[in-house]
C-alpha cells in the first residue's frame, strides 16, 4: 500500500510483509518521493498515517488557538507567524496554512471531514492500545464542531472558524 501524507507530498509510507520485496521495489518508489519507510506487516502503513494525521490535527487546533489568542490579546497574528517561523516550533504546516487562515481562505488540500475521521480512527487505535489521548480527543471535538458548522468540505485548517466567535455556553 502507498499512502501520501496530505501536507508533505514527498513522504510515502508503505507496508509490506516482505522486506525482500520492499528492497526490490523501493528504487522505483524513491523516484516519487524523498524518503521511503519499511513499516512491516500490512496495516502498519494505515496505522502510521493515522498517527501522523492525529498529530497534525492536534497541532492545527493548538495553532488555531494561538492565532486567535494573539489577535484577541492585541497582538498581530501575522507577526506571530513570523515569530513561529524563527523558533524551535517552526514547521511547514504553520508556514503554509497560517497566511491563508488569516485571510479566511480554506481551499481544501485535506478536507476537514477526512481529518475528523482520521482523528476518530486514531482515538480508536489509542483505545485498542490503552493509550490515553486527551489532547487528540479535544482536537477531535473541535473538528466535530467545525463539521456541525458545515465546514467539512473545506480544508482542515477551517477548524480555526470554531474559535472566531466567543462561546458563552460554558
pLDDT (average), residues 148-159: 98
Residue 170 within any structural domain of the chain: no
27-40 confidence digits (pLDDT tens):
666 666 666 666 66
Query: What is the C-alpha separation between 170 and 157, in angstroms, rounded?
Result: 24
Burial bucket for residue 133 (CB in 10 Å: 0-12, 13-18, 19+):
middle
DSSP label at residue 42:
T
DSSP label at residue 4:
E
Q: How many domains does the chain have?
A: 2
The CATH code of the domain that includes 129 is: 1.10.1040.10
DSSP label at residue 61:
H
Q: Which domain holds residue 105?
A: 46-163
47-99 confidence digits (pLDDT tens):
999 999 999 999 999 999 999 999 999 999 999 999 999 989 999 999 999 99
70, 133: one domain = yes
DSSP label at residue 158:
G
pLDDT (average), residues 6-35: 58
96, 30: one domain = no
138, 76: one domain = yes
pLDDT surpassing 80 at residue 155: yes
- Helix (H) / strand (E) element for 39: namely none
Q: Which residue do the cell numbers 495553532 mark? A: 63
68, 143: one domain = yes
22, 102: one domain = no
Quote the pLDDT of residue 6. Answer: 42
- What is the biggest distance separating any 2 CA atoms in the chain, rounded to whole angstroms? 59
pLDDT surpassing 60 at residue 4: no
* CB of 123 closer than 8 Å to CB of 116: no
99-131 confidence digits (pLDDT tens):
999 999 999 999 999 999 999 999 999 999 999
Query: What is the C-alpha separation between 154 and 110, in angstroms, rounded?
Result: 8
30, 59: one domain = no
110, 32: one domain = no
The β-bridge partners of 35 are 11
101, 135: one domain = yes
Residues annotated as catalytic (active site), given as ranges: 49
pLDDT grade for 146, boundaries at 50, 70 and 90 = very high
62, 10: one domain = no
127, 82: one domain = yes
Amino acid at each position: 500500500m502507498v499512502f501520501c501524507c496530505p501536507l508533505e507530498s514527498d513522504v510515502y509510507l508503505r507496508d509490506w510483509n516482505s522486506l525482500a520485496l520492499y528492497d526490490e521495489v523501493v528504487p522505483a518508489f524513491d523516484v516519487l518521493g524523498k524518503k521511503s519507510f519499511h513499516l512491516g506487516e500490512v496495516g502498519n502503513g494505515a496505522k502510521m498515517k493515522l498517527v501522523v494525521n492525529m498529530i497534525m490535527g492536534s497541532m492545527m487546533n493548538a495553532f488555531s488557538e494561538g492565532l486567535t489568542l494573539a489577535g484577541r490579546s492585541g497582538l498581530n497574528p501575522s507577526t506571530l507567524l513570523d515569530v513561529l517561523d524563527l523558533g524551535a516550533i517552526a514547521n511547514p504546516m504553520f508556514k503554509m496554512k497560517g497566511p491563508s487562515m488569516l485571510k479566511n481562505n480554506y481551499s481544501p488540500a485535506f478536507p476537514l471531514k477526512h481529518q475528523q475521521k482520521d482523528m476518530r480512527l486514531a482515538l480508536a487505535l489509542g483505545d485498542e492500545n490503552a493509550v490515553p489521548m486527551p489532547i487528540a480527543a479535544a482536537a477531535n471535538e473541535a473538528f466535530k464542531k467545525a463539521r456541525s458548522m458545515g465546514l467539512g468540505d473545506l480544508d482542515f485548517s477551517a477548524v480555526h472558524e470554531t474559535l472566531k466567535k466567543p462561546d458563552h455556553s460554558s
